[in-house]
Chains A and B, each alone.
Chain A
């Protein structure tokens, strides 16, 4: 068997949870929370208040622990069924592949709660039969040709960070399922400094792309929360959005050219231009197609010089309503910094609980003083106030100017500047939240995030109603402890905002927590739709949210998408059953 390349990356990552093996939350011998590893700023730090927060928020206790099985039980894994003729043809192409159980299970899932739960306690009914690692566009062409010839099902796999059940293999799929792992197509093919574009293979993951571009002094500025692990091709396939979209734009604004291999052949444009009027933009059939039409192999993407200066910031508001009004005003004046987010009170307290032990008495004294100033002097109620976190980017002078403009607006809405540190911690939370879920799972706490986009005038109503709905559904479904139900306004646009929810609860005393969880998540989505929110702002539809597609885009709309699928892939080679 050909030695395959996917192993190295795979071995760094957890097989049954989020992220790197060496990075996780633990409770140390003193019973204090600690984050291990050196990859994150939080690494090696003790978080003195975190344990108390968990106990208080979820009613969880360190004494009640569940443990995941230690490693994959190879005997449970469904056998790999691949016909010999295909294998012969595949070997002839010299493309590396694997039928190893661990490799196949690793690519059988994304990071939805139920998927992680299955990894910890059960086994998927259907997983890929074989994993292939093409190293270039031509390899992909060959694989797709073979799949057509032998009537196989291909499921493209990028970073595996999907949260829409998009990577789950349809149980009823009888054909051999080929997981096409793009991770070895990870080169920057060229950089065009005159036009500020770069042509990149689609398998590259976000952090590598930025690192490599930075060597030449550039960046894409596309930073979804999953950017350490998610891939360029995955971004295109799901219509991803990045934290700093206010400066750099979302994926649809960044992409100049896409090459995609489909069962019908290769689809691409004939030039690399900023805009063209040639009928509906074919890029928009590809972006958000979620692996149902083909494999994105190469993308030309816009690049920018790495900004000279970055500055975090934060503003405290007396309440969420004032905060939203401020964000709306910032959006109206079109002066949003690279990122501006407003977290509600529960999330503010969450972030606060992740505050590392302070190094000196002086810092702790300062913290105390700040707290005193805000709560006693300014009269903010610590159980109502909320915080906006800011990230400014650009040349130093402009950043400072911009900062002043934003803080001035904030003042009009009763906001008080609350320092860089709070801002930075807010953004860190985004990267470590997924690790926190793994910790929760050890203590009967399950949770997930979900998102939507909504017009400005409905932001407050939607946030309040969805949170309330979650609390109520938990009660009705027999959840014994009050859930964590919190949100943040995470992106601003001219006409609306993107809202992100975290939802978690302690499931002790419930026999089928995943089922209960899914019912509640579904109710929350119904609530979002009833409040005028969208089915998804950037996570995509996958299989998790398919049932609402028709009402989201109308019968005719769905028919349009179906007819594209029928033309491009009549035999459903790309049979992951997402979206439609």
Chain B
């Protein structure tokens, strides 16, 4: 990538950082509580649609796809290679299409409009939407094909989004859904009629499937048939922390523009944040290795009881539509598609792949930027640093303090002007009574049944509570990650020299590249942004060459590094496990229970307090990071992926982690307590373990 293109992406990010002015929210449920749901469901629905659209039926799309040059080409290729009749393969393609295709019907939409009105009113206090965003979306839909890119925290996401577009009389989206939904009787078909289309989980090797699927999506996009909706994260984030993006679908929807089959395409980042996530406890179980229940209708019915529960407020922020053309201008100018007929399947060039990846990260960063943070998120972050119990008054004080800091860092907190901190914290505690509660002026985690269980039971219960609580703290992390990693780096390097702090920062950024969302290749910019934010809150002072923590800043610096301590320690444990406990190649299926047991034992013995290392999410991310760093190699042997820890790690790591060895590490200034020093030592030790 060129320097110019980088600076474009970054400039736009920094500009947004300084001039952040966000829209007002409106509660769409308010109207629902006042008037008839039935009338609402039966309202005259004449949506705003794309200006160039010639309306057609779902089946017409399917046959257009089947007849398309793209699909016909692949069919002929395959027929030739396999020596089969093209008719048979065509038949197969037809079956794929039938399995995949949506069949949007107004009737089903109205059914959902009615039932969802009932359900949402039960579950949620308010559903808040930025109306300006909806207006921008309305313009965008008329102008160019639109791709909706919501964050994914819950199954509620896509239902809610369609519900929203229906409410605002916009064209309903077609939604890429996992094929597992089809396993649910009735519901799968209902979703299909509401505009869902279904993709298999993996079809990399299946050329016919790939051709049919991508052409199906592109046909709908090119004709402006409907907004196309999918989740960049690929799946629901079980940790409420944005997952690193998947590129497949994004590259498909970008292709019509790159091939100039459409003038432009709008990408619309949408941030959906939940005050309380419907699936919070399911997620925690899943992270701890209790398997996710398969999607089934009866499962859904069993979930009915949650209807009596309160899940607070949902905030939906529809971001500014981003013009793909603008993103591509000056970047993709070598017309890579000019020399090959456009209907031939073509592997995207490296340039294009890099562009797709940059766009994906940019969109996720935009999602993060507009994600609404509730006061409870602040409470959770503080609570996790003050276990097992925290004084209520202190919690309130700290929450207010953290609110200021979060806003300085650009976090988007929904905190009404007249709401006092006590009320905010209390209402958070009420809503999340399953996680924490107020006992004798102290707030404690709700890990009930502590006394009577066995040791293992206690650890498990506690882990559940901590992971659930972490789900809320996690919503802060991507806002805090740049300044925090600078803070961590400041502590790890004994030096004040900017250069050294930076190289440590850069290393941490690489290690956590799957854990947090960083725009690729701009380590220095991220570092500068981190430093800038720390300077802004008076935590550090910088000169040309050096960075000094201020006296006042030590509180901030220690808070920030404590916030990321679970990750530093967790990774250290995982690395330690890898270097000590595994000698040979392993599969992911072997690794995760292995690490889990290893950490579990340490927890039982009280040798660590890092419950979050039990999270399979963290374990997978750490493994991915090690693969990227070259410490572990991925091998494919007979359809199973193997990971091979490599001793070469030493060389590659030494290159990017050329820091003075930590032995003889001195506490180098006031404001750095023993505990944090220890955590740094642990990290380095952990890494060194792997070095051996």
Contacts and interface: CB of A to CB of B under 8 A. Distances in A.
Interface string B330-347: 000111011001100000
Contacts of A468: 263
Contacts of A462: 260
Contact of A531 (B260, B333, B341): B260
B263 A464 contact: yes
A530 B263 contact: no
A458 B335 contact: no
B321 to A, nearest CB: 15
A164 B342 CA distance: 31
B335 A532 contact: yes
B474 to A, nearest CB: 41
A36 B390 CA distance: 94
A22 interface: no
Contact of A461 (B260, B333, B334): B260
A465 interface: yes
B341 A457 contact: yes
A170 to B, nearest CB: 27
Nearest to B258: A530
A530 B260 contact: yes
A551 B342 CA distance: 20
Contact of B335 (A461, A465, A530): A530
A529 interface: yes
A529 B337 CA distance: 11
A529 B333 CA distance: 9
Interface in A476-532: 526, 529-532
B97 to A, nearest CB: 24
Given A457-B341, A457-B342, A465 B263 contact: yes
B393 interface: no
Contact of A465 (B260, B333, B334): B260
B261 interface: yes
Q: Label chain B's interface by main secondary structure.
A: loop
23 contacts: A457-B341, A457-B342, A458-B260, A458-B342, A461-B260, A461-B261, A462-B260, A464-B263, A465-B260, A465-B263, A468-B263, A469-B263, A526-B333, A529-B335, A530-B260, A530-B333, A530-B335, A531-B260, A532-B260, A532-B335, A532-B337, A532-B338, A551-B334
Most chain B beta-carbon neighbours within 10 Å: one of A458, A462, A526:
A458
Contacts of A458: 260, 342
Nearest to A523: B329
A469 B333 CA distance: 15
A464 to B, nearest CB: 7
Nearest to B343: A457
A532 to B, nearest CB: 4
A538 to B, nearest CB: 20
Contacts of B263: 464-465, 468-469
Q: Return the 9 tightest CB-CB contacts between A and B, nearest first.
A: A532-B338, A531-B260, A468-B263, A465-B263, A461-B260, A530-B335, A465-B260, A461-B261, A530-B260
Interface in A201-239: none
A464 B338 CA distance: 17
Contacts of B260: 458, 461-462, 465, 530-532
Given A458-B260, A530-B260, 12 more contacts: A458-B342, A462-B260, A465-B263, A469-B263, A526-B333, A529-B335, A530-B333, A530-B335, A531-B260, A532-B260, A532-B335, A532-B337
A467 to B, nearest CB: 9
Interface in B178-213: none
Interface in B261-286: 261, 263
Interface in B316-338: 333-335, 337-338
Interface of B: 260-261, 263, 333-335, 337-338, 341-342
Interface of A: 457-458, 461-462, 464-465, 468-469, 526, 529-532, 551
Contacts of A457: 341-342
A40 to B, nearest CB: 38
A462 B338 CA distance: 12
Contacts of B341: 457
Contacts of A469: 263
A465 B258 CA distance: 12
Contacts of B342: 457-458
Most chain B beta-carbon neighbours within 10 Å: one of A458, A529, A530:
A530
A468 B325 CA distance: 12
Nearest to B339: A532
Contacts of B337: 532
A551 B335 CA distance: 10
A530 B334 CA distance: 8
A497 to B, nearest CB: 16
Contacts of A461: 260-261
A131 B341 CA distance: 50
A458 B337 CA distance: 11
A551 B339 CA distance: 13
A535 to B, nearest CB: 12
Nearest to A455: B341
Contacts of A531: 260
Nearest to A532: B338
Nearest to B259: A461
Contacts of B334: 551
Nearest to B334: A551
A22 to B, nearest CB: 44
Nearest to A551: B334
B480 to A, nearest CB: 37
Contacts of B333: 526, 530
Contacts of A551: 334
A468 B52 CA distance: 13
Nearest to B256: A461
A468 B342 CA distance: 21
Nearest to A467: B263
A405 B675 CA distance: 91
Nearest to A527: B260
A145 B338 CA distance: 45
A464 B261 CA distance: 10
A526 B342 CA distance: 19
A176 B359 CA distance: 54
A531 B338 CA distance: 7
B633 to A, nearest CB: 39
B7 to A, nearest CB: 20
Nearest to A529: B335
A464 B108 CA distance: 36
A466 B27 CA distance: 42
Contacts of A529: 335
A529 B338 CA distance: 9
Contacts of B335: 529-530, 532
A457 B335 CA distance: 16
A155 to B, nearest CB: 33
A461 B258 CA distance: 12
A318 to B, nearest CB: 13
Contacts of A532: 260, 335, 337-338
A468 B261 CA distance: 13
A526 B325 CA distance: 13
A469 B260 CA distance: 12
